[in-house]
Structure 1
Amino acid sequence: MDFICLREGANSSKNVCPCDNPLWDRSVFTETTQTKFGLYCESIWLISFSQSMMYIGLLIGALLFGILSDRYGRLSMFTLSCLILSVSGCLVSFMPTLSSHTFMRSIEGIGAGGAIITAYVLCIEYCGLRYREIVTAFFHVPINISHMTLPGISYSLRNCDAFQLAISIPVVFYVSLRWLIMESPKWLMDNDHIDEAVRVMEKFASFNGISCENIRAQIEEYHTQRSTKARRQIKFWQIFKHKKIAMNLFYMSVIYFLCGMGYYGVSQYIGKMSGDIHANVAISGALLLPGTIAAIFLLKLLNRRTFLISTIFLSGVFMIVTICVPFHLNLIRVVIACICNCFFFMSFLIGFLFAVELFPTPVRNSVLGFLSVSSRVGQIIAPLINSLPENISGAVFGVFALSGTVFCYLLPETKDTELPSSLDDTKTLTRRRTTHAANVAIT
């Protein structure tokens, strides 16, 4: 926020340091973290530091709850993460010092990171192969809608504490989902909870008007077909004992890093191109929705690798085009940059689904948590890139996105495959890609 420095016997100066008596410009917001704790001049860096600590919390939450949900179940960890998110979010408004405020923001980030990861995996493991793409796309539609409506809440509640409470209190109601929905049947079966898996699938069948007679027999047959070795609980670190699977994790980590850096970086890049913060956030959210809806159809038509390569490549191309447009054509630059950001978001969308299909049930959430760490690192780096001159930062985002297509090509195809339950299933995906490549070469 801008401020005017009131000096005795001198003219008032805008944003001039040092200053002992700032008069804040409250025309947009009546109270922010900056005005609440008096952050300006030599202490202004603490604003970014507080935000970075929240991002670090997101990073920790995604990794921590990813590991915990693989061990204790998706639903229980989703409930716990929502409880942490709501309680810590409300407490942020009442923290009396900047230190306590920053700490509570970090806890809030942990809850948010856990909720996103566990909710997505739970949804994907609920549905069958036929609806996996549709569920992935629809999972992100509410995220787009919340993105668009957030400026409306901010416009109505100009005080940071009131705004924080308004977006935190409703999350309490998500804790009640613990008694309204059921645990992932996929996780239950692969963790030897056969009776509970049968109960869940019988409820699913009853709701959909399907006969429940053979469900137990089918689940028990599925369970017995898995050898003891295949069903054995594995740890996340054991992935690195298998070269091909570890390389897939590395490729996905690079892709997640580039998507995180690109999506959040271009969002900030667009913010520098427009002065109205409320309109800017609403427009950027609105332009993401058509891309999400288009993904419903594209996920059905295109292979995973083809879709991911296309979206990352196009995001890089549109970013390069943006910096080639003259500065006086600012509206055109903004529109092209928004299209670029839409493709970055679609890369995120397909990246979520791709990662779920690449890795087995016992470590699926742990892997997604690890990949989210890569994404958050890219997100933390994005502001540093945006501190460069506008065209240089745009070129960095564009070139990095184009380089990401190479890592997409190295991944195996997973479209129309069952979710892997063991490392052996994941190796089959890798061998399928190798065999296909060999057949192409012979042809």
Structure 2
Amino acid sequence: METYGLQRYLGDFGRFQKFTTLLVVLLAPIWGTTAVAMTFLMATPKHHCRVNETASSAEYRLSPESRNYSTPLENIDGKLVYSSCLMYLQTNETMAIKNRTTTLCTHGYEYDRSQYLSTIVTEHDLVCGRTWLNELGKSVFFVGLSFGSIVSGVAADRFGRHPTTLVCILLHLLLGIGASFATDYVTIFILRALVGAAGIGYYFTSLVIAVEIIGPSKRNAVGMAAVAGASFGYVLLGFLAYLIRDWRTLQLTQALMTAPFLCYWWLLPESPRWLLTNNRSGEATAVLKRAAKMNKVIYPNDVFCSETEKLSNETEEDSSRKYGVFDLLRRPRLRRITTAMCITWFAEVSVYFGLILGSVELAGDPYLNFILGCSVEVVLAAVALAAMKRWGRKPIVGGSVLLAGTGCMVSAMTRGFPTVARGFALVGRGAIGISFCSLMVYTPEVFPTVVRGTGLGLANMCSRFGSVLTPFVSLLADAWPPLPMVTFGTLCFVAGLAVYTLPETLGVPLPDTLEDSENFGMKQPHSDEVKEVSYTDPWPIPASMKYMRRLVVFYQTARDGDVFSSALTPG
């Protein structure tokens, strides 16, 4: 089915498309603050055992004498440091230190409040023997993202992109407020997971709307703008966390930031492509007329009627049933695309979060480290945009993930040289950032309209299985120190192989039906489309071939009765 005919009348990126894209990009930073909020909400500050039951948090910095008599030393990475989880059972200063016995903290913990006034960890003492609960809370959040990805994707394909986006925005607001007032950590973890589910829902569903209303020449830029918006949200969170050191206030602020976007019920349009593929031509016509008016395009009624009637007739049979996850696996080519995307998302998200979410543990100010690290993401989005526009999606997504894998592997092999190892780890982080940003744009383009939301949701759900395991990958270092980086490198190489089984989408009209997906990327577009794409063709053509292409285009246009336009076709 071709919705490209309607696109030609409206233009690739008129005022209507720009306005809708702006709405989507403005929503992206809110999701960005949600995605990495756990970095500060669940941060673990320095701590030690409370010496007695009457001690207060103000007594965190014990005098050297008190520290020597109350806290034993531990050998960590060849250095003697005061223990965070043990204390001397006897506090008699006259007793020799070597004769004292140690015990777990019997009176609770004292926390360093210089960086964090309060976190979920400090409020519920999720340290030492309870550290696993903190890691479990992070994993539960990623489980919520998996749940939200697939549910919102199916809902978007069944009920529409617009209502799904608005419901997710409302749930994000209400559940976020609830999480800020929850009293026990189990409830906090569950509500935070549901907040993540709602956030990933409105982010990807709104992105699908933007992708479906613009022409092929601008999909790359719009997708990267949404990705850059999310990266800007990371930076915004760093500044908010610096100003708001209490986790409950930070969580409440993050939730209330969603409230203004409830006005999207009136502002954000439904995808006309989805309406047409679901045989709702009347509503699609209304959206298209609004688009034509905003774009100042003369769009005669007979054109609306003929085009929408044609598309409705083509989709009448398909729209009689609802599509689901299993439709992604019914046809061989779409099944291969789905499998490759799931593998790629699983691997890339695991490595992405594994390499960047530990930035607050580096030496120095955690807020500065986080803000600087996330600022790089915005720059990487611009680099990815330029690269994909020049060379296409596949080379950038696949090539950069292979570079990330190489960086991780070399970092593991040079562990004995910390400066070198750190440098290659940064190379891996930058490369996976480029690949992940590009993947966000690439994924919606390879699935047909009838299952685009479902496909995007399934791929994202698979990625969350990897992110659920990511907090525990660091534990592999107990068996062999380089093993975490080797694991990340291996995942990158697997993802690189999967990417090269996918079709290229640069300058190609999106598939609409399951039938379209079977031929997607395997045949030449219609002659009208060739002329459109040729203006932005990113592949340099040797001079000896340019005249051959002119002859081909001339033949096609002459056959269609439009010889004059062929003379204007650029070489």
Q: TM-score, normalised by structure 2?
A: 0.71
1:372 to 448, 455, 460: 460
Matched residue of 1:356: which SS? Answer: helix
The aligned counterpart of 2:84 is: 15
Q: How big is each residue's C-alpha offset from its partner over 1:135-181, in whole Å with a ceiling of 9 and x where there is no partner?
A: 01111111121112221111111111111112111111112111112
For the pair shown, the structure with the greater C-alpha radius of gyration is 2
Question: Alpha-carbon deviation of 1:80?
Answer: 0.8
Question: Alpha-carbon deviation of 1:222?
Answer: 4.2
Q: How big is each residue's C-alpha offset from its partner over 1:51-80, in whole Å with a ceiling of 9 and x where there is no partner?
A: 221111111011111101111111111111
Q: Are the counterparts in 2 of residues 257 and 378 from structure 1 also a CA contact under 8 Å?
A: yes
Q: Are the counterparts in 1 of residues 139 and 469 from structure 2 also a CA contact under 8 Å?
A: no
Unaligned 5+ runs, structure 1 = 434-443
Q: Are the counterparts in 1 of residues 148 and 196 from structure 2 also a CA contact under 8 Å?
A: yes
How far apart are the structure 1 equivalents of 2:436 and 2:151?
Answer: 21
Question: Alpha-carbon deviation of 1:413?
Answer: 2.4
Question: Alpha-carbon deviation of 1:85?
Answer: 1.0
Q: Does 1:427 align with 2:485?
A: no
Q: Are the counterparts in 2 of residues 258 and 375 from structure 1 also a CA contact under 8 Å?
A: yes
Count of residues in correspondence between the two structures: 432
The aligned counterpart of 1:439 is: none
The aligned counterpart of 2:494 is: 403
1:242 to 288, 309, 331: 331
- Counting helix residues as a fraction of each chain, which structure ranks higher? 1
How far apart are the structure 1 equivalents of 2:417 and 2:245?
Answer: 32
How far apart are the structure 1 equivalents of 2:428 and 2:418?
Answer: 17
Which aligned pairs between 1:381-400 and structure 2 lie closer than 5 A?
381-389=469-477, 391-400=482-491
Identity of aligned pairs, percent?
Answer: 22
Which aligned pairs between 1:165-176 and structure 2 lie closer than 5 A?
165-176=252-263
How far apart are the structure 2 equivalents of 1:268 and 1:224?
Answer: 47
Q: Are the counterparts in 2 of residues 268 and 386 from structure 1 also a CA contact under 8 Å?
A: no
How far apart are the structure 1 equivalents of 2:263 and 2:375?
Answer: 30
Q: How big is each residue's C-alpha offset from its partner over 1:322-378, in whole Å with a ceiling of 9 and x where there is no partner?
A: 335566654x65454334223212222332333222221121111111101111111
How far apart are the structure 1 equivalents of 2:287 and 2:46?
Answer: 56
The aligned counterpart of 1:255 is: 344
Question: Alpha-carbon deviation of 1:37?
Answer: 2.0
Q: How big is each residue's C-alpha offset from its partner over 1:155-212, in whole Å with a ceiling of 9 and x where there is no partner?
A: 1111111111121111111121111121111111111111211111111121121113
How far apart are the structure 1 equivalents of 2:436 and 2:381?
Answer: 10
Question: Alpha-carbon deviation of 1:16?
Answer: 2.2
How far apart are the structure 1 equivalents of 2:46 and 2:358?
Answer: 20
How far apart are the structure 2 equivalents of 1:382 and 1:284?
Answer: 19
The aligned counterpart of 1:207 is: 294
Q: Are the counterparts in 2 of residues 287 and 338 from structure 1 also a CA contact under 8 Å?
A: no
How far apart are the structure 2 equivalents of 1:315 and 1:272?
Answer: 21
- Aligned residues: CA RMSD: 2.3
2:147 to 44, 48, 60: 60
Aligned letter for 1:74? R
The aligned counterpart of 1:96 is: 183
1:284 to 363, 373, 381: 373
Q: Does 1:3 align with 2:44?
A: no
How far apart are the structure 1 equivalents of 2:308 and 2:48?
Answer: 73
How far apart are the structure 2 equivalents of 1:96 and 1:307?
Answer: 46
How far apart are the structure 2 equivalents of 1:82 and 1:29?
Answer: 29
Matched residue of 1:201: which SS? Answer: helix
Q: Does 1:42 align with 2:142?
A: no
Q: Are the counterparts in 2 of residues 251 and 410 from structure 1 also a CA contact under 8 Å?
A: yes
Q: TM-score, normalised by structure 1?
A: 0.91
How far apart are the structure 2 equivalents of 1:173 and 1:326?
Answer: 48
The aligned counterpart of 2:399 is: 310
